[in-house]
Amino acid sequence: MKDKISVIGVGYIGLPLATAFASSGFEVIGLDVNQETIDRINSGTIDDSEPGLSKMVNKAVESGNLKVTIDTDEALRNTHIFIVCVQTPINDDYESNLDYLKNALMLITKYLDKGDFIVIESTIPPGTMEFFVKPFLEETSLKVGSNLFLAYCCENVFPTNILEETMNNDKIIGSFDAKSSKLAVELYSRINKGTIRTTDTKTAELVKISENVFRDVNIALANEMAIIFKKMGVDIRQIIKLSNYNKRVNIHNPGCGVGGSCLPKDPYFLINAANKYGIELKLIETARKVNNSMPDYTLNIIKQSLDDVGIQKSDAIITIFGVTYKGDVVDIRNSPAKEIIEKLLPIMKEVRVHDFLSTETFGGKKSNNLNDSVTGSNCVVILNNHAGYRKIDFRKIVSNMAKKSVIVDTADIVNIEARKENYVSI
Active-site residue list: 208, 262
Instruction: List the 317-321 sheet strands across, edge first.
Output: 365-366, 350-354, 317-321, 379-382, 406-409, 423-425
Binding-residue total with ligand SAJ (CB under 6 A): 20
Q: Which is nearer to ligand SAJ, 140 or 292 (CB)?
A: 292
Coil vs helix vs strand at 90 = strand
The three-state DSSP-derived secondary structure of 129-141 is: HHHHHHHHHHCCC
Among positions 197-236, residues that touch ligand SAJ (CB under 6 A) are 211-212, 215, 219
For residue 192, the minimal CB distance to ligand SAJ (Å) is 14
d(CA 19, CA 201): 26
Of 81, 185, 263, 273, the residue at the interface with ligand SAJ (CB under 6 A) is: 263
Q: Does 262 interact with ligand SAJ (rule: CB under 6 A)?
A: yes
Question: 190-200 b/e with 16+ CB inside 10 Å = b?
Answer: ebbeeebebbe
Among positions 157-176, residues that touch ligand SAJ (CB under 6 A) are 157-159
Q: Does 364 interact with ligand SAJ (rule: CB under 6 A)?
A: no
Q: Which is nearer to ligand SAJ, 104 or 294 (CB)?
A: 294
Phi-psi region of 308 (alpha: psi -120 to 50; beta: other; left: phi over 0): alpha
Q: Which stretch binds ligand SAJ (CB under 6 A): 102-110, 150-158, 183-191, 196-204?
A: 150-158
Q: Does 288 interact with ligand SAJ (rule: CB under 6 A)?
A: no
Of 140, 253, 292, 400, the residue at the interface with ligand SAJ (CB under 6 A) is: 253
x/- letters, 322..351, toward ligand SAJ (CB under 6 A): ---xx-------------------------
DSSP 8-state class, residue 315: G
Closest Cα partner for 153 from 189, 107, 115? 189
Q: Does 123 interact with ligand SAJ (rule: CB under 6 A)?
A: yes
Q: Which is nearer to ligand SAJ, 112 or 151 (CB)?
A: 151
Q: Does 258 interact with ligand SAJ (rule: CB under 6 A)?
A: yes
β pairing state of 317-321 and 379-382:
parallel
For residue 377, the minimal CB distance to ligand SAJ (Å) is 23
CA dist 278 → 13, 82, 207 (Å): 34, 37, 22
Among positions 390-419, residues that touch ligand SAJ (CB under 6 A) are none
- Residue 342: CB atoms within 10 A of its CB come to 14
Q: Does 255 interact with ligand SAJ (rule: CB under 6 A)?
A: yes
For residue 206, the minimal CB distance to ligand SAJ (Å) is 13
Write the burial class of residue 368 (CB in 10 Å: 0-12 exposed, 13-18 middle, 19+ buried): exposed
Spatial contact of 30 and 14, defined as CB atoms under 8 Å apart: yes
* Chain centre distance of CA 314: 35
Residue type for 423, please? Answer: Y
Spatial contact of 366 and 351, defined as CB atoms under 8 Å apart: no
Q: Which stretch binds ligand SAJ (CB under 6 A): 60-68, 89-97, 258-266, 313-321?
A: 258-266
Q: Does 362 interact with ligand SAJ (rule: CB under 6 A)?
A: no
d(CA 159, CA 50): 7
For residue 241, the minimal CB distance to ligand SAJ (Å) is 13
Spatial contact of 228 and 297, defined as CB atoms under 8 Å apart: no
For residue 91, the minimal CB distance to ligand SAJ (Å) is 18
For residue 331, the minimal CB distance to ligand SAJ (Å) is 8
Q: Which is nearer to ligand SAJ, 182 or 237 (CB)?
A: 237
| Torsion, CA 389, CA 392, CA 395, CA 396, rounded to 10 | -110
Q: Which is nearer to ligand SAJ, 321 or 325 (CB)?
A: 325
Q: Does 122 interact with ligand SAJ (rule: CB under 6 A)?
A: no
d(CA 163, CA 56): 9
For residue 426, the minimal CB distance to ligand SAJ (Å) is 10
- The residue ranges that bind ligand SAJ (CB under 6 A) are 123, 155-159, 211-212, 215, 219, 252-253, 255, 258-260, 262-263, 325-326
